[in-house]
């Protein structure tokens, strides 16, 4: 399994990157290369991971909800091996990143730094050792081991010494949250590794998801990103509704029927009229 240093180089920035505020949507896409079949278990695992992450974010952001799309599936134009290449590309470290995103953008309309859309791509393809995956610039790319991890399968070793042990669903959700953070402009925390924030979500904390946290400055950045909605209004508890209904019925029972009621209605209509004219 990749280490924290395997995170996308774009994410290794020392400052939080600005994201334009607007009513943005985070789009989740499951990509199958041309030689891989669609898998319902992968698709539903992504859906559950998104749901879990959205709930965790809301709990850590005072009820603000991440704006998400339904998980979309697309078959790409090329087989899985095409994306990692044969090592002949001078930019081999970024070949997987570049080749996958080229096809992914073409089939979904995605792009970097889109103020209205963040794109999270899962692809059923493995990179070569050392090739970049992760998040940054409004995009995240999750390779096949993330799908296997979410689906409870053994992993495929990529780098020397990698284990085939499945690392668990929650860790997969933590990885998703970490890379989404990078896609939304969050860097690794200052001082890590060895700093006081090592176990925040944006460093080793993804290993312990959901038992991790966001720093205050990260929360402020996420809430200003335009990709979160305000908390839903809190409904009155049942007892509150019953009390309100009871008081209302008492009020109407005590009101005289006659001109005063018509007068009240007139005032209300007038207020509506004034209010409309002000719009």
Contacts with Zn ion, residue ranges (CB under 5 A): 7, 11
- Least spacing, CB of residue 145 vs Zn ion, in Å: 16
Alpha helices in 61-168 (DSSP H): 80-84, 92-108, 144-151
Are residues 223 and 58 in contact, defined by beta-carbon separation less than 8 angstroms? no
Residue closer to Zn ion by CB (options 11, 43) is 11
Using alpha carbons only, give the angle 128, 38, 54 rounded to the nearest 5 degrees. Answer: 80
Name residue, tokens 């949250």: 177
Q: 7 or 31, CB closer to Zn ion?
A: 7
Chain residue whose CB lies nearest Zn ion: 7
Alpha-carbon 207 to chain mean position: 17
β-strand 117-123 against 65-66: which pairing, if any? unpaired
| Residue whose CB is less far from Zn ion, 11 or 32 | 11
Residue 79 or residue 130: which is nearer to Zn ion going by CB?
130
Q: Is 174 exposed, middle or buried (0-12, 13-18, 19+ CB in 10 A)?
A: buried
CB atoms within 10 A of CB 179: 24
* Residues forming beta bridges with residue 66, ordered by sequence position: 228
The minimum distance between CB 142 and Zn ion, in angstroms, equals 13
At closest approach, how far in Å is the CB of 86 from Zn ion? 28
Cβ nearer to Zn ion, comparing 9 with 72? 9
Cβ 199 to Zn ion shortest distance, Å = 14
What is the C-alpha to C-alpha distance for residues 222 and 70, in angstroms, rounded to an integer? 21
Residue 68 carries which DSSP code? Answer: B
CA distance 92 to 193: 27
Report the residue number, 80 or 175, with the smaller CB distance to Zn ion: 175
Minimum distance from CB of 134 to Zn ion (Å)?
6
Q: Which is nearer to Zn ion, 13 or 151 (CB)?
A: 13
The H helix count followed by the E strand count for the chain is: 8, 7
Q: Which residues contact 93 (CB under 8 A, 6 or more apart)?
A: 130, 131, 132
State the nearest-atom distance from the C-beta of 188 to Zn ion, in Å.
Answer: 6
CB of 4 to Zn ion, least distance (A): 6
């Amino acid at each position: 399994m990749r280490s924290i240093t395997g995170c996308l180089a774009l994410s290794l920035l020392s400052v939080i990157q600005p994201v334009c505020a607007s009513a943005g949507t985070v789009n989740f896409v499951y990509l199958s290369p041309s030689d891989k079949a669609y898998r319902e278990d992968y698709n539903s695992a992504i859906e559950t991971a998104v749901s879990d992450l959205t709930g965790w974010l809301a709990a850590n952001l005072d009820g603000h909800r991440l704006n998400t799309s339904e998980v979309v599936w697309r078959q790409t134009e090329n087989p899985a091996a095409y994306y990692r290449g044969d090592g002949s590309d001078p930019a081999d470290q970024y070949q997987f990143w570049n080749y996958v995103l080229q096809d992914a953008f073409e089939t979904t309309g995605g792009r970097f730094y889109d103020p209205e859309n963040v794109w999270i791509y899962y692809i059923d393809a493995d990179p070569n050792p050392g090739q970049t995956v992760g998040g940054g610039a409004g995009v995240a790319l999750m390779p096949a081991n993330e799908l296997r991890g979410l689906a409870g399968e053994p992993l495929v070793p990529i780098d020397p010494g990698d284990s085939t042990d499945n690392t668990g669903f929650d860790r997969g959700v933590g990885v998703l949250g970490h890379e989404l953070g990078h896609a939304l402009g969050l860097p690794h925390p200052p001082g890590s590794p060895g700093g006081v924030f090592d176990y925040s979500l944006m460093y080793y904390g993804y290993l312990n998801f959901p038992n991790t946290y966001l720093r205050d400055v990260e929360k402020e950045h996420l809430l200003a990103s335009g990709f979160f909605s305000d908390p839903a209004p809190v409904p009155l508890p049942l007892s509150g509704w019953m009390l309100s209904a009871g008081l209302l019925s008492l009020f109407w029972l005590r009101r005289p029927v006659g001109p005063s009621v018509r007068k009240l209605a007139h005032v209300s209509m007038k207020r509506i009229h004034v209010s409309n004219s002000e719009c």
